[in-house]
Amino acid sequence: MPELDDSDDLQLELESLHATYDECSVATSPAAVTVTVPIFPSTPPGEPRFNEALLCLTCAPGYPKAVAPCCSLSKVQGLDGTQQAQLLDALDAEVQALHGEMMLVRG
């Protein structure tokens, strides 16, 4: 695992993610820890849910105090480019609002 700030806290956070999300996956490399979890963006009430994507949060050395995670989407279904950009903008705004805090699992 890379040298991340508060690595014990990160380990606890990763364990919480696995307990909360059955389909959560974690990949580690010398440069980062990447957490991938399926998400299902909301659809208007009464309409079938066809929207889904994999949310990837990459935590580089310095997370959480010096470096916020980087958000990306993959395997996107049901969202056009504009909707994907809006979703990423909302996620990035949340990441910036929580900068300096552990944020992979929020109560």
Q: What is the CATH number of the domain that holds 12?
A: 3.10.110.10
* Number of C-beta neighbours around residue 17 at 10 A: 17
Provide CB contacts within 8 A for 45, sequence distance 6+: none
pLDDT of residue 44: 67
User: Residue 77 domain-assigned?
Assistant: yes
pLDDT of residue 53: 93
Run means of pLDDT, 10 residues per run, the chain, 107 residues: 57 82 87 89 71 91 84 92 92 88 68
Range of the domain at 73: 7-42+49-97
pLDDT of residue 55: 93
User: Residue 2 domain-assigned?
Assistant: no
Half-sphere exposure of 33 (CA within 13 A, CB side): 22
User: Residue 53 domain-assigned?
Assistant: yes
Whole-prediction pTM value? Answer: 0.79
User: Residue 21 domain-assigned?
Assistant: yes
Alpha helices in 1-107 (DSSP H): 7-20, 81-97
pLDDT of residue 64: 80
Domain count, the chain: 1
Contact 102, 6 (CB under 8 A): yes
pLDDT of residue 105: 65
pLDDT of residue 58: 92
User: Residue 64 domain-assigned?
Assistant: yes
User: Residue 104 domain-assigned?
Assistant: no
